[in-house]
Amino acid sequence: MNYSDFVIKKATIEDAETIYNFIYQLAEYEKLTEEVTTNAEELKKILFAENTHVHTIIAFYKNKPVGFALYFYNFSTFKGKTGLYLEDLFVLPEMRGKGFGKMLLLELAKIAKDNNCARFEWSVLNWNKPAIDFYKSLGAKPMDEWTVFRLTDDGINKLIK
């Protein structure tokens, strides 16, 4: 593998269709395509707005996009610092096992360090053993004592009525 042909770049508005395609492929892998309600045009408005809180990096191999990571900053009240939260990481199936996912995570770790983040966190589906094993191999620790809760649009609407 010639890593000189590999580069990670901050996404631009011209990458919106590529980002959408990666999101959809991730949803297919996670068996959640029915959850995808966005499109490239909506992504342009959110990801590339002047004061956006969401950031995206794209991995290219031989000038072709092979993966991406989408992240945002959260806040730790106990640490009094921001944290980096990885919302999505995806590498094309045919490009997995080549170190590209690790390089995307390394880039995010550098971004977290450069921004004085107290934490770098993400979630993974319990059934996704390959991802869990990969993350553990990097030294990441599962937060088994925490349970994620979520309100979707319907739940939010019911709550505020």
Task: Output the pTM of the full model.
Answer: 0.92
Provide the 10 A C-beta neighbour count for residue 101. 22
Question: Over the stretch 14-67, which tens digit does the pLDDT of each residue have?
Answer: 999 999 999 999 999 999 999 999 999 999 999 999 999 999 999 999 999 999
Q: Which residue in 20, 61, 71, 135 is the catalytic one?
A: 135
The total of structural domains in the chain comes to: 1
- Residues 75-90 have a mean pLDDT of 96
Query: What is the percent of the chain with per-residue pLDDT over 70, rounded to a whole number?
Result: 99
What pLDDT sits at residue 156? 92
Question: Over the stretch 137-150, which tens digit does the pLDDT of each residue have?
Answer: 999 999 989 988 98
CATH number at residue 106: 3.40.630.30
Is 135 annotated as catalytic? yes
What is the distance between the alpha carbons of residues 150 and 80, in angstroms, rounded to a whole number? 24
Cβ–Cβ < 8 Å for 34, 24: no
What is the distance between the alpha carbons of residues 58 and 89, in angstroms, rounded to a whole number? 10
> Which range of residues forms the domain containing residue 147?
3-160
**HSE of 80 in the Cβ direction (CA atoms, 13 Å)?**
0
